[in-house]
Every structure is written in C-alpha cells, then in structure tokens.
A and B are shown apart, each in its own frame.
Chain A
Amino acid sequence: MIGAAIKKDIWLLLRDRGALISLFALPIVFILAFGSMFNTNTKGQPDDRRPIAIAYPANDARGAAIERAIGKTQGFSAQHVATPEAARALVVSEAVTAAVIVPADFDPATGHRIELSIDLAGPPQAIGPLQGAIGGAIMRAFAPVDVDALPPVYEAMTPPGLAKPIEDISSFQITVPGNAVLFGFFIALTTAMSFVGERRTGTWRRLLAAPVSRYQALLATLVPYYVVGLTQLAFLFGLGALVFGMHISGSVVALVVLSMSVSLCAVSLGLMFAAIATTEKQLGGVGSVVLLVMGLLGGCMFPRLLMPPGMKTIGLATPHAWALDAYHAVLVRQGTTLVDILPSIGALVGFSVLFATIGLVRFRFES
C-alpha cells in the first residue's frame, strides 16, 4: 500500500510544475547566486581581489611601502593614483573599495594623519573588518623590517578538538548545504499541502473508508514525501559535488544519515503544519514565511558564524541550525564521522519527535 502511495505521489509531483521548481530548480538558482556572490576562492580565476587606491607624493618612501604592504595583503590589490582627488573620485564611483591618501606632511605625532577614504555608509560587518585589514597593512609598512623582507608574523591553526578543514574552502561548500537545508525543509509545505488537498478533494475520505488503519493512512502520505525529500537532498548534494566542485571531507555515511534526519524532521514539520492549517491558502502564506524565518535564523542565507551571539543562540531553536552545523562539519572538516555529528542528529530527531507529537495530537482524521 505504501509502495502504491509512493508511486501515486511521485506521479503527482512530476505533474506539478510549481512543486518541482520550488524543490529542485529554485535551490540551484540560489546556490549559483549565493555561491557566486560569496566566492573567495580565486585559484585559477581572473583577479577579483578588492582594489585599494593609494595616492602619495612622488618619491615618498613611506607611501611606496604602504602600497607594497597593501599589495601583499590577502584579498587586496593596490592601485597607485596620481592625486588625492583622483583617489577619492575612484571611491565615489565605486571603482575601488577604499583609498589610502598619504599627505606630504604625514606625521601622526603632530596630527597629520593618513586619510582612509571609504564609504562609511556601508554595512558595519563589511566596513569594520575592511578598516582593520587596511590599518594592519599600513602598520606593517612602518615595521622596522622592510615589507618585502618581513616574515609572516602568525600562522592560522585549527585548535585541538576541532577537525582540520580542507584547504581552499569554496563558497559552494557553504551555499550548497545552506540552500539544501533551506529548500529541503520546504518539503514540509508540500507534505502539508498534500494532506489539506486530500481532505479538500475527498480522497482522504476514500482512504479512511479503505481497510487501512488511520496511522497507515498517515504514513501513506508522509512516506512518499520523505522519499521525495531524500531524493531532493541527494540531487542537490550530488549536483554540488559534480558541478560546483563541493568536497565531502568527512564520512559519506554521516552525510546520508544526516540527510535522512533532515528529511524526517521536514516531513514531521509538514504533519504539524497539516494539523494546524485548514486551507492551502493558509499554508502557502504563513507556512512559507515560517520556513523562510527558520531558514534565516538557522543560518541558511547568512552564516550563523557572522551573527551576534544572541542571534546565534536563537538560531539553535531551529532544526536548520543543527543540520547546517553538521553538514558544515561533514563537508569541510576532514575525517568527520557519524559519531562527530551525533549531537546534531540527536537534535534533529528531537525536533522530529516534537513536531510529530504536536501533529498527531492535533491532526483531525475525521474532519
């Protein structure tokens, strides 16, 4: 019976262009868009370092040293310009990210400082680190050792207790799981829509009139969407690996078990939605917003790592955050095993139990 239900629902899904687009096509568009926007891995790519304009008087050794220091800073390229006015104009026209202007009478002791020309209206999350990095480059220019001869003063290390990540993490390593989780949870909406649609058309009555138990009737609707959810995740991660060069650094078994937990959680959420909502309109409106907010708080669209501490904690109230943390470990950290992500899997199963319990308590079999 479950086999027939899976077949039936897959046929229905194949003929539902809207659902196919939202489950399979939209995530690819989002992965491509976010992946391209945040791509910092430029190996073999045209130079996309951020250009920083620098203007200083002719033959000014300090200005030349700052130019070299900026040029050697990761992610920046130095662009020498003749005059301070030209440098500022480049900032205004957004041809450069910022401009460093060294005056002829530069002397911090007397209050004659270097001018960092930058659009301070930009987002603080971007402007702050940018100022810090340029400031660091300027300070290196005044080190007692020549910039060209200056050895690296620090080495970035992964502390013991955290598995070492792969080198050259591409943005797709982050955006593929982010969007897979975001859109993977949209199967909750498809599941709930299916329940409401079955009730509206009367096929639910036909199912209840058949010699199947009520829980079999529920499973006949949930299991097909669980299978579809798994297929969706397999498709997106497969595409990520084959097309976008996403690496699976940890255990594939861990990835599979994690994806099974995510799908379980999503269909359980779908059951809860179906138990609460009475119309497809309600689901389409409120359900989509709830899923988007959960995805946002969970870090699907903006990494939780960059969120303020309070928001990071709030994010843990969503299954998305736990799923993403685990996917990040499996995809980025070398040698991650199933045991390493058990806490996340436990949390996802816990969410599933909570959603399913609320769903079962409130589900109206006989409406």
Chain B
Amino acid sequence: MSEALVLSGLGKDFGKRTAVKALDLVAHRGEILGLLGPNGAGKTTTISMAAGVLTPTRGTVEVGGVSLAAKPFEAKRKLGLVPQDLAIYEELSATQNLRYFGALYGLGKTKLAERIAFALATVGLADRATEQVKRYSGGMKRRLNLAAGLLHQPEVLILDEPTVGVDPQSRNHIFDTIRKLRTDGMTIIYTSHYMEEVEALCDRVAIVDAGAVVALGTVAELVATHAGTGIELELAGDIEAGRAAAAAHAEVTVTDRTLRVVPTAGLAPVIAALEATAGITLVRVALHAGNLESAFLALTGKALRDGAKS
C-alpha cells in the first residue's frame, strides 16, 4: 500500500514547552486513520503541522510524496483540512463560502462550479445552497465545514473532531460521507473524542500521548495487545490507599473510583488486601472485557472523553 501522508520525527515546541516530541506516522492511501489522545496529547498540534498551519520545530511532512517544507503549495493542494472550529462565514450562503474557499486553491470558474455542486451534493446541502449559513442547524454547519475541505479533491483529508455538537442524523450523514470518500480512494485522518466513532470508522488507530505515538494498529490489534482482560473493583473511600494495597498482588490501573486489576496470583489476595486497608469499602466487582477504551486507558492512564480539544 502506498503512502499518502508521512510524518517523520515531527515535533513542535512552544517556547520551553514541548507539545509534540518527535512523532512518526504513516497514513496509507485509501485508509481512515484515527488519531486518539487525551487532552494535551498533541493531536491538534500534529494535524496543524501536517496541514501547514503550524511550522514544525523539527521533522518533516510529506503529502502524496511531496515535501511540505520544500514545495508547500504543491503539498497543500493534495491536502484538505476540516478544522474543529466551524471555519465558515455564517453571514454568507453555502455557495458564497465555497466560492471563496475554492478560489484559495486556484479553482477556475467552471471547475469551481462543478466542485461546489459536487461538495454540496456529497454533504447533502445542495437544496440549501443559497441560504445564509447562520440559519443552518449545527449539523448542517458541520457538513458545510466538511464540504469546504473537499472542494479541491484532496488526496488526504484531515478531519479534526468533525462531529462535535451534531445531531445523530447529521453525524450519520458525515460518517456515510467519510466512508464514501474512502471508497473513492481518499485518505482520511480522523481525530475524535468519541471512542465508538473511531471504532466504527477507522481502519487503523494511532494513540497519541504526551506528544508521541504510543501505539498504532487496527482496533482489533490494539485491543488484543493493550486492552487485556481483568477485573474491575469499584471502591468507596481512599482510592490511592486501595491502589497501593492492590498493587502488591496485581497490575493496577485507576479510573475515577475504579481499580482495574490483573491479579498475579488470583483475585483472593487482592480482595483480602483491600479489606485489610482502613478507609476503603469494596462496592462492586465486575469482569472486564477488553475494548479500545481499555486499551487507551492502559496505554495512557487517562480517560479520553472530557470534551476539550488537545
């Protein structure tokens, strides 16, 4: 499979703070590559560098074999960005928005008209093309945001949280559009806080933490390698004391009020240790089946969905 987007040793410092260390990532042609990471992991910084919005402190970006640093215009023509913000003019109509964004890519009048018609039809807004965007629903605005990224037929489309605040109908429409674009050969980089979206859409997932890719693979591979199985113990009281007590008899990760344990010599010593610890009450015991979320937790030690962008 050929490479559509290659990030090599990509890093960004903001003053003394390092947002992205030295990130390596390859997206293959025609795949949907998910980018998952907790707050501050560096996802938005990474895709901003990939899209040419931020200048990297180190490393390189290649889009369709073209170096972004050496030939920025050529590389940018191969790449579309759908920012997390609704980067559209609400006072204008969809057509007026797309005419402007298309002109930025040097599309001629006839070609631009064709591409506007295609983009609007793709996102299901053809019948509302001349209406002022401020009258659109949140979901329709998101779809127009997506359409603006498609106008110039990019080889690689970067979607940054494209479904934030949309209704289920619009979200499904966006999913269908993304799947169709993938079928047509487009490479999609997809960041989201919604684990189920990534599981449903992405061919491969890169988990990013502290400015580096900590795991990369299909959802099944990540779950098999990192999620593991275990037992969830919900505690009331001093969770840190509970973690310390359980750690002598199991591998432990902590989520909110719950310890996830993989016992080294059976569950009984763990329970006994917890019961012997003052200030702790065991509320619930459950068997944990591995999924992408547990893989994510195991890799980063953090919950994903807290609603803010990183």
Cβ of B7 to closest chain A Cβ, rounded Å: 16
Q: Which residues of A contact B105 (CB under 8 A)?
A: 210-211
CA distance A207 to B132 in the complex (A): 21
Task: With A1-B104, A205-B53 as known contacts, state yes or no: A211 contacts B72, CB within 8 Å.
Answer: yes
A5 on interface, CB distance cutoff 8 Å: yes
A42 on interface, CB distance cutoff 8 Å: no
B216 on interface, CB distance cutoff 8 Å: no
* Cβ B106 vs Cβ A208 within 8 A: no
CA distance A208 to B92 in the complex (A): 20
Q: Which residues of B contact A210 (CB under 8 A)?
A: 76, 101, 104-105
B175 on interface, CB distance cutoff 8 Å: no
User: B53, B77, B86, B148: which contacts A211 (Cβ < 8 A)?
Assistant: B77
* Cβ A12 vs Cβ B89 within 8 A: yes
* Cβ A203 vs Cβ B91 within 8 A: no
Q: Which residues of B contact A202 (CB under 8 A)?
A: 83-87
B79 on interface, CB distance cutoff 8 Å: yes
* Cβ B53 vs Cβ A209 within 8 A: yes
* Cβ B100 vs Cβ A209 within 8 A: no
Can you report 15 residue pairs joining A to B where beta carbons are below 8 Å apart?
Answer: A7-B100, A8-B89, A8-B96, A11-B91, A12-B89, A15-B91, A201-B86, A201-B89, A205-B81, A206-B87, A206-B101, A208-B52, A208-B53, A209-B76, A211-B72
A37 on interface, CB distance cutoff 8 Å: no
Cβ of A74 to closest chain B Cβ, rounded Å: 54
* Cβ B52 vs Cβ A4 within 8 A: no
Task: With A4-B99, A11-B96 as known contacts, state yes or no: A207 contacts B88, CB within 8 Å.
Answer: no
Q: Which residues of B contact A12 (CB under 8 A)?
A: 89, 91-92
Question: Main SS of the interface on chain A?
Answer: helix
By beta carbon, the residue of chain A nearest B74 is: A211
Interface residues on B, range: 20 to 34
A366 on interface, CB distance cutoff 8 Å: yes
A212 on interface, CB distance cutoff 8 Å: yes
Q: Point out which of A3, A203, A208, A210 has the most chain B C-beta atoms below 10 A from its C-beta.
A: A210
Task: With A4-B100, A8-B96, A209-B52 as known contacts, state yes or no: A201 contacts B77, CB within 8 Å.
Answer: no
User: A1, A8, A15, A203: which contacts B106 (Cβ < 8 A)?
Assistant: A1
Q: Which residues of A contact B81 (CB under 8 A)?
A: 205-206, 209
B48 on interface, CB distance cutoff 8 Å: yes
A148 on interface, CB distance cutoff 8 Å: no
A167 on interface, CB distance cutoff 8 Å: no
